[in-house]
Structure 1
Amino acid sequence: MLFKKRRAYFLYNFDEFSKTFKNNIDLLRKLIYNDKPLNLDDSVITVQIINICSIISNYHDENYVDLSNRVIKDIYQKYQILVEDNPNGNRPFELSDIGKALLSFFKSKRDSRANKIRDINRKLDKDISNYVLKHGVEIKQMIPVEKILTNWISQTNPAIRMLSLTHQKTEKKIIESNLSIKNIPNSIMDIFTSNIPTDDYYTLIRQQTIESIAGIGNALFIGILQKEKYYTTYFNDFLSLLSLVTKRLNFDSDILEEGRMLVLDVSMLIQNVIKTENSQVTLRKALDYNIEILCSALIESLLREQYRIKNEQVMYINYSNVTLGSLLNPDMNANGPFSKDHLLTLAYFLINSGENNDIGHNYQNKLAHLFNVYKNSLSLSAVCLLMYLLTDVLNTIYAGLLDYE
């Protein structure tokens, strides 16, 4: 009876009750199935059940392994049916979350079903891009995008307006990036869940936290690009702050021109894709690529110039060794405006990260080398994520300038 009333609580806090469930498989079976056929109506619960299956599949008990296999098979079959019965793409975000969890599970087991799920997920990625373009962003997450942006645009100071997109004031009155994520507690999920690569720093919970915070920034930028008053304000603020930083810190003047190139490309995307329901796919992809590669390059340029200004008076700099990877390495780029956690969060998105270089999105290298980018990396969502990361880097350098002054 307690399970029926508080099922979600026991599912989400599985690690706290793992010893109990490990000694009572019938109890665990009741928790998962809730005395009725499994359904995928709640994607968050379904993903958590997949995570639990990943944990119990590593138990040295065939009964638990069999239970895991049976539940995963059930979810896999029902997931395929749901996708096939969803021709209008009414649930692309929820289904995508389930698909990602299934794919991670099958990849960890080297299960051939991963190939089928990968194909389904690629289709859903297209559905998500089309859905966002057609219906806007508030459906994607329970984020009050319009309310946040209304408050954002009401601020009269352009620099403060820019900072508010990516930074906040701490209790100690320090301006800090939202991506400077620290003090993430460990969880038993990190010990047992092997369906995605992790290490001692990029734990499962840290990666989920990074994705969640970046997802909010991503949603805000999608919202900005959908209304003229928002994107006009952002473009003006971005170029104004980029000009200020470039001149005040004596950065390479080409950076400002490259910023203007970016604004032009984004404006073309708005006019030819976001405002046009039947835009050409190739044109959309071309503009996505131009924006994403420019954002990535500008991030690297800003980080390199920040590093140069900080170090050129005290040491010789061999610029052939100053790669994006080294700029995002806290051991090399310490004592600047970017904290260790901030740099490692940026690295999670931009390069291969982690102890084995197998963690994160690796956007910079994929874009630069055209590695499976056409189908997998070119989308409005990726555009807005990289615009968010670029804004964060620019704001951090400006915040460091304020601290210095």
Structure 2
Amino acid sequence: MRQAIGEAVLRMVAVLALAAMLGPAVAGAGEDGPVVIGAVYNLTGGQQNLDVPSSEGARLAVQRANAEGGLFGRKVEMVEVDGETRPEVIAERTKALFEGAPDLAGVIGLSDTDMVLAAAPVAAAEGRVFLTSGATSPLLPRQVPDYLFLAAFGDNVQAAAGAEWAFESLGARSAAVLYSGGSTYAQLLQGYFADSFAALGGNVLAVAAYDPGDPAAAVAALPPVDLIYLAALPDEVAEAVPALRRAGIEAPILGGDGLDIGGAWATVPEARAVYFTTHAYLGPDSPDPAVIRFREEYADAYPGHEPDAFSALGYDAARLLLAAIETAGSPEPEAVRAALAATRDFAGVTGTIGYAPGSRIPAKSVTIIGVESGRQSFVASVLPREIPQPE
């Protein structure tokens, strides 16, 4: 875990206290007060490994904005709440966010489809943009029309990239798909992979859902194949990967960004020939100037914390929303929504972000990272040729 549960709970209390304290001041601030954005993250619960780094990145972006003079000569404030990885709590706290800070220009946050669907409709009902920093379902924009934007690529894109890379670089011609039962993210991701792999000429010999608490039963039924595709949530990776290796399966394991668990890979000694698609490579050996600068800023802000792709996504999402506010010329919500929709070439740490007319999902390349003995390394950057339609 990135942080002890006790520390996360203390942070949650502090964040909620800050929101309550800011609310009255923000509500009456008018044009002389701060420019305020909201943030909803799961700082506790099963998704904290994604959302704690993402929230750290978002806060860093706000710090950078204020160090550069804020917006329109006004300070930027981010009011943040903890959804506890519970959809009912997320919906409740998102409502409370608007009650305490009714002048919010927009809201960022969350890294999972089911969690976003608890928060984004609340923001849309308030006429505010919800920019998810890490959720990847390509169905989200149609589920919350007009107001929901993604900062990341869609699952159909990362699945297609993974399938092409496995087919061409690993020479995989047969695959078995193992996915987390009950997760919308995992269900969509595995379907897009199976479609893409089959379209390339590969054979998907088995598709099995596993119980997150006991993946061994599903693993035991898998046939011999060239590749295992694992669609898992981050808190399940440390159980699912060892279950495959302990069953004697030595085929390469490929998954999506749910396998991007950062330094926690060091605690999974069975991680051999594991690969996953994600949003950026943040390793210290990256030659990317944007990554180098981000790592330096992150190290200064959070000593001892190693940034990952979700840290960078939180940073990009906050900066993207602030850029839209600046382009709009004010934090007026409808102007901000229009400015965000018109974004074409925003330079982020995770790549260039832009929205084609009528789309609220950016077209971005996909990074593939390999894991061997707990160590991660950059493998490839892939922009897939053929992408399954969202369905």
Q: Which structure exhibits the higher relative contact order, with contacts defined as CA atoms closer than 8 Å and separated by 6 or more residues?
A: 2
Does TM-score exceed 0.5, indicating one fold? no
Q: Higher Cα Rg: structure 1 or 2? A: 1
TM-score, length-scaled by structure 2? 0.25
Query: When you count strand as a share of all residues, which structure comes out higher?
Result: 2
More helix by share: 1
Q: Structure 1 length as normaliser, TM-score?
A: 0.24
